[in-house]
Chain A
Amino acid sequence: MSGMGRRFFLKIASATGAAAACSPSHAPEMLVPLLNPPENMVPGKPLFYRTVCRGCGAGCGVTARSREGRVVKLEGSPDDPIGGGALCARGQAELQSLYAPDRLRGPLVRHGTELVPVPWADALAQVGALLGKLRGADGFVHGLRMLSRCEPGSTGAVQKAFVSALTPAAKARVVFEPRDLVCLRAANTQLFGKAELPVLDLSRARAVVSFGADFLETWLSPVEQARTFMAARSGADRPRLTWVGPRLSMSGANADDWLRVRPGDELQVAIELLRWLVDPANRVAHLAPEAAAIRAALPPSRMPQGISPEQIAHLGGELSVRRPSALLGPAALASGGGGTALAAAVQLTNFVLGNLGKTVLLGLSSEEDAPSAEEEVRGLLEEARRGEVKALFLHRADPLGKLPASARAEEALRKVPLIVWFGERLDATARLAQFALADHHALESFGDLEPRKGILELQQPALSPLWDTRASSQVLLDLAATLALPGIVDKDFHELSKSRWQAAAKALGAELDSPHAQRNVQARGIVVGRALAAARPLRLEALPWFLGTRVSPGDGLQLVAFATTLASADPEAPGWLREVPDALTGVSWSSWAELSPITAQRLGVKAGNLLALRTEEGATELPAVINPALHEGAVAVPQEAPELRALGAMGRAVRVERTGKTFALPLTGHASQEGRDLARVVPRDEEPKHDHDHGHKHERGGTLVPPHEHPKHRWAMSIDLDKCTGCQACVVACYAENNLPVVGPQAARDGRLMAWLRIQRSFESISPAAPAETRIAVLPSLCQHCDAAPCEPVCPVYATYHTPEGLNAQVYNRCIGTRYCANNCPYDVRVFNWADPVFVEPLQMQLNPDVSVRSKGVMEKCTFCVQRIRYAEGVARGEGREVRDGEVTPACVQTCPAQALVFGDAKDPQARVVSQQQDGRAYRLLEEVNTLPAIAYLARRGGGEP
């Protein structure tokens, strides 16, 4: 990447930025050839780089598609066993954080109250000098601390070396992961003596019980879990999913049963379930020998409110026969004794049922850089408050912004004389720092990562840095050099990380002798070795410790903090995640508080009313949203909501009052499908068997004119509603691939979101009598590419028509914007450009050069990613062969973690999509209007019987 300087990108950016698709620019264009052409970069052709996603801890492998030196799209790396080629919504959105307009463009230093730009040399010199001053005679900086996010790789290693070289104090470096599953770690420590998280293999699970763990969307390693679980689900013996908790998350929406309990009662359910299982009277076979001991330690029985012994027995019976199973929990933000106890109960049940080592694997989570316990973080702040912390290094850690207000982080941090902060975008904490040192984005930096045992991921830059940033580890190495720190020899972080990953790779049995072999590893970006789950003995002495803890939830409303797939509520999240509405509630661009219909009625609250929430920790105001899938004892707030900090952790008692004010909530999507049976469910027993006519039934539906020919291909798709989790990864992928503009909250309120593909959620069988019966159906809705498309004949200028390959084409530059097509589309999938799109510099660098940027006044819609079809066809033509099945994948299909979407050529009898469309569950949307769509939906199956 020698020839490519920052200017080079900006140049190309400005060229692309000028892309006003539908009206050619009249000014004569200038051509600026490169001085030296960068090798292997061909303008107009994509380059692919392998690296790793740092969006969350899961560490999915990523393929970054780059055009003219700018990354335009992220996709999962097929070689990666974790992501398995898929990527979640947040992974997709990493791209927008790379091009975030408010990213730091260079280092800043405090000047009075301001943070002002400063050259790197000066910044380093000043930090060095200040550290020098703080250094005692022993060469140590007593009271130097470091707070960093989890860095299981070279970065972490450098930080540790740096800190330990500067201070003798143990635990001087604290790993700050506010979203970490602390309870699960704590429970594992108690029961099995190791602070670790399990790795799940749900493909073998025949029953899954989740105690509020949003495992298909946000919990632990969601992409992997969605894939494995849905793989199992599509099998003959469909595993049952039971959801235990006060609120259906999107994972809960996929459950077959819902044990609807008061917040906090999950623990009680877990204990009663455990009791039932270990009770000899129920004769559960093949239990762990410790069962008797556990039974002895169990507290006296107390049925949780609203749960009958029969339900427990039913669930217990199911688990006793459906082996192996997997019990998951608790939710991410469940903290305190209750959470840990629940986690322990869950793990204990897994142990008793022998799930450990089969579906719930211990001993695989990376031992490197495990997140510190909550106490350590609070301890650090306490030290600071006492003024014992002299210098604090922060690496992508924002205690001020992420910890509850009760932690009084600000007060503590203000006491610290020297704060050096590393990160990309100024956060709350950075605003208190003396030095804010701009770090590379993950896609700009080298590094290595061991997300779990047996897997080594290489972090490799997919483009050269956009701004004047530096890798934080490099900065630390430079500082070490200036301070002549003992024991730190490396000068260059790239070299260091290289030697480290090569060593690690060798350990994993990778073959690295020749440069060629090395290049192969780098090209794959990942090394997978063998790692076996460890069998862990149960520490019986731990039983009384947690079975003793009793939590009795109060009777009033309780706070439930839940994780959302997207981040509508997070003001720091990239535009895509804020704009795409939360699948369950339909809210975008705002945080909110959910009430059950019953509670809302009791308080006389309507959606959009501003509520005053008060806990013993503090108070805040949030707009109300009515959620039929919520227990009346709960008030649910998304964990990304900044307002949550004031209220404190989960399980707090909340007082809710109306403020009388209303808030214009950007809320989209009607709650019910009004009995129109769009998202269908087939009860398991009635499930029709494979019949090969069914797929074509609709084509026999009478048409006046003979169906037209598709000479070569007829592109088609199938969507399995039994697999779709509603995670919206496809939606964000579509935004990224097709240059969809982010239009903001007002447009959302006006109903003018630009999404081509939407997850249509509907609450079913809502009755105040039986709220536990509430079910959620999701229906991915995109252009159906009909054979007899109603939108086509009404266009006066042929701007939309049926291509020979069966696509419903939209020619933007021919469209004059009558909007008749949109009116006449029975599926409402056509999107109109109400205004010219705005891509704030440098976001326009993300635009896909293969897709027109649409101007105001034209209609647009899903194209089945025709540009990707053309690309695949081009590749095939180049190799002188036909396009293979599965070679063409629209962005949505490519990124679907659950692999619910299948795309292919309906004229190829071997194609997967054909067999899918002929499945017994296949049906077309709105068959009565006889539009002969190219998309077949596979009805969701009712739960299997135990």
Chain B
Amino acid sequence: MRRLAPLALFLGALGCQAAASPTTAEAPVKFSHKTHAGENQIGCGVCHPYARHSPNAGLAPASVCIGCHKFVSKEKPDVQKLAAEFTAGRPLTWTRLNRVPDHVFFSHERHLAIGVDCKACHGDVASMAMDQKVHELQMGFCMDCHREKQATIDCLACHK
């Protein structure tokens, strides 16, 4: 059945399962996962604090960024911009890259708990200077993995 992938994708799109979302994000400041997660080996949990104990991964509050950048590479223009925004009390606005529709109830907590690697869905961000979407996070993508790992494929596991 999967051999008919093109047709399936076309109809899938018709069924508006594929939300037209960007594949790369222009960020308010030049942030590079390569530098942070790659070269400096900062763990994901530092900037995505909630991933391990909540459905949402969460995004680094500006205070966390400042925490380091008070000392680290203050001279960079983007860091200065960040500091300026922070002191002005204006939060940065990022474009969302990976999203699932509102009727999908995905939980980072559950998946990390059973040892799914962030890479599995988000790709190897540690090597991305510019963030990009690796997988269209569509139902088929979830189902493949769930089938493979013999996880539940009960609809109510994700749809409530």
Contacts and interface: CB of A to CB of B under 8 A. Distances in A.
A and B directly contacting (CB within 8 A):
yes
A23 interface: yes
Contacts of B99: 29
Contacts of A45: 50, 53-55
B54 A43 contact: yes
B102 A24 contact: yes
A36 B96 contact: no
B101 to A, nearest CB: 3
Contacts of B156: 803, 807, 809, 811, 866
Interface stretch (A14-22, A165-173, A726-734): A14-22
Contacts of A929: none
A812 B94 contact: no
A852 interface: yes
A20 B55 CA distance: 19
Contacts of B94: 30-33
A293 interface: no
Tell me what chain A mostly uses at the interface: helix, strand, loop, or mixed.
loop
Among A26, A29, A44, max chain B CB count under 10 A is at A44
A762 B116 CA distance: 55
Contacts of A29: 21, 95-96, 99
Contacts of A36: 61-63
Interface in B2-58: 16, 19-22, 49-50, 53-56, 58
A32 B93 contact: yes
B55 A867 contact: no
B149 interface: no
B95 A43 contact: no
Interface in B45-99: 49-50, 53-56, 58-64, 86, 89, 91-96, 99
Nearest to A855: B103
Interface string A490-523: 0000000000000000000000000000000000
A456 B58 CA distance: 39
A30 B56 contact: no
A22 B20 CA distance: 15
A35 B61 contact: yes
Interface in A807-859: 807, 809, 811-814, 850-853
Interface size for chain A: under 10, 10 to 19, 20 to 34, or 35 or more residues?
Answer: 35 or more
A715 to B, nearest CB: 12
Interface centre among B89, B109, B155 (most CB of A within 10 A): B155
Given A25-B19, A863-B160, A870-B160, A44 B56 contact: yes
A32 B89 CA distance: 13
Contacts of A812: 103, 159
Nearest to A11: B91
A811 B58 contact: no
B159 A33 contact: no
Contact of A28 (B49, B64, B96, B159): B96
A852 B49 contact: no
Contact of A851 (B49, B152, B155, B160): B160
B148 interface: no
Given A19-B102, A36-B63, A43-B58, A31 B155 contact: no
B20 A26 contact: yes
A850 B158 CA distance: 11
A867 B95 CA distance: 29
A814 B53 CA distance: 29
Contacts of B60: 33
B50 A33 contact: no
A852 B54 contact: no
A35 B159 contact: no
B60 to A, nearest CB: 6
B22 to A, nearest CB: 5
A34 interface: yes
B63 to A, nearest CB: 5
Given A29-B99, A852-B102, A867-B160, A35 B62 contact: yes
Contacts of B64: 37
Interface in A852-909: 852-853, 863, 866-867, 870, 874
Nearest to B105: A850
B91 A34 contact: yes
Contacts of B49: 37
A35 B63 contact: yes
Contact of B93 (A30, A813, A863, A866): A30
A801 B107 CA distance: 23
A866 B92 contact: no
A28 B103 contact: no
Contacts of A32: 91-94
A26 B17 CA distance: 10
Contacts of B95: 28-31
Contact of A814 (B54, B56, B155, B160): B155
A813 B159 contact: yes
Contacts of A853: 102
A23 to B, nearest CB: 6
A603 interface: no
Interface string A317-334: 000000000000000000
Nearest to B94: A31
A859 B155 CA distance: 16
Interface in A467-501: none
Contacts of B86: 35
A35 B93 contact: no
A804 interface: yes
A42 interface: yes
Nearest to B65: A33
Contacts of B93: 30-32
Nearest to B56: A44
A853 to B, nearest CB: 8
A851 B104 CA distance: 10
Nearest to B47: A33
Given A31-B95, A33-B61, A35-B62, A44 B101 contact: no
Contacts of B89: 35
A929 B53 CA distance: 46
Contacts of B20: 26
B59 A31 contact: yes
Contact of A24 (B16, B62, B63): B16
B154 A803 contact: yes
Contacts of B61: 33-37
Nearest to B100: A24
Given A33-B92, A804-B154, A811-B159, A42 B50 contact: yes
Contact of B63 (A28, A37, A814, A852): A37
Nearest to B159: A811
Contacts of A37: 49, 61, 63-64
A48 to B, nearest CB: 16
A166 B60 CA distance: 53
Contacts of A20: 102
A12 to B, nearest CB: 12
Contacts of B63: 35-37
B59 A22 contact: no
Contacts of B50: 42-45
Interface in B127-159: 152, 154-156, 159
A812 B155 CA distance: 10
Nearest to A869: B156
Interface of B: 16, 19-22, 49-50, 53-56, 58-64, 86, 89, 91-96, 99, 101-103, 105, 107, 109-110, 152, 154-156, 159-160
CB-CB nearest 10 A-B residue pairs: A24-B101, A44-B56, A44-B55, A44-B54, A29-B96, A33-B59, A813-B103, A24-B19, A31-B94, A43-B56
Given A30-B94, A33-B91, A45-B54, 11 more contacts: A24-B102, A24-B103, A25-B19, A28-B21, A28-B96, A33-B59, A35-B86, A44-B50, A811-B156, A867-B160, A870-B160
Interface of A: 18-26, 28-37, 42-45, 801, 803-804, 807, 809, 811-814, 850-853, 863, 866-867, 870, 874
13 contacts: A22-B103, A25-B102, A29-B95, A29-B99, A30-B94, A30-B95, A33-B91, A34-B62, A37-B61, A43-B56, A804-B154, A814-B155, A850-B160
